[in-house]
Amino acid sequence: MICTTGGCLCGAVRYTLVQAPDHYDACHCGMCRKFSGGVEFGFDTPPDSVTWEGAENIRTYRSSDWAERGFCGTCGSSLFYRTVGDGPAAGFLSMAGGSLDSLEGLTLTTEIYIDSKPSGHAFAGDTKKMTEAQVMAAFGIAPEGN
């Protein structure tokens, strides 16, 4: 059975999902590498499908004009990436894959920011691959400088 619960390292923040994810994705962008300490694995879920326990321990960092990252204020564990504002991607929520109690049964399906992937990183199996420009277009965000 695929997992529907997760939380941070210290247990100060826990969550339950209405529906278990069936896959997860990998992001190779520089911000995700710094936030997670490596490749950020995540899965998308509707914001209203997550029930939080210990939400008062969640802190956020506004990492760009259009997104923020959530983490435990006690242990620092990555919890989510969420878009903010009114754009076409408003309300997008990607939970940190590593915050799930188990990734068993999930399949890695997509790698994003593939043009930022360090040459030493490689995953087994075939995945959909998207460049930074393709990701920005999918979110309806104009490239910097425009």
pLDDT digits (tens, 9 = 90+) for 67-82: 899 999 999 999 999 9
Q: Can you tell me the mean pLDDT for 43-63? A: 95
User: The CATH number of the domain where 27 resides is what?
Assistant: 2.170.150.70
Does residue 62 form part of some domain? Answer: yes
Is residue 145 scored above 80 in pLDDT?
no
The number of domains in the chain is 1
Q: Where are the alpha helices (DSSP H) in the chain?
A: 30-36, 132-139
Is residue 146 scored above 70 in pLDDT?
no
Note down the domain range covering 50: 5-139
Nearest CA to 40 among 61, 26, 30, 22? 26
What's the CA gap between 9 and 22, in Å, rounded?
A: 23
What pLDDT, in 10s, does the model give residues 18-45?
988 989 999 998 988 998 888 999 999 9
Q: What is the dihedral of CA 48, 50, 52, 58, to 10 degrees?
A: -80
Is residue 2 scored above 70 in pLDDT?
no
Does residue 36 form part of some domain? Answer: yes
Nearest CA to 26 among 124, 142, 102, 104? 124
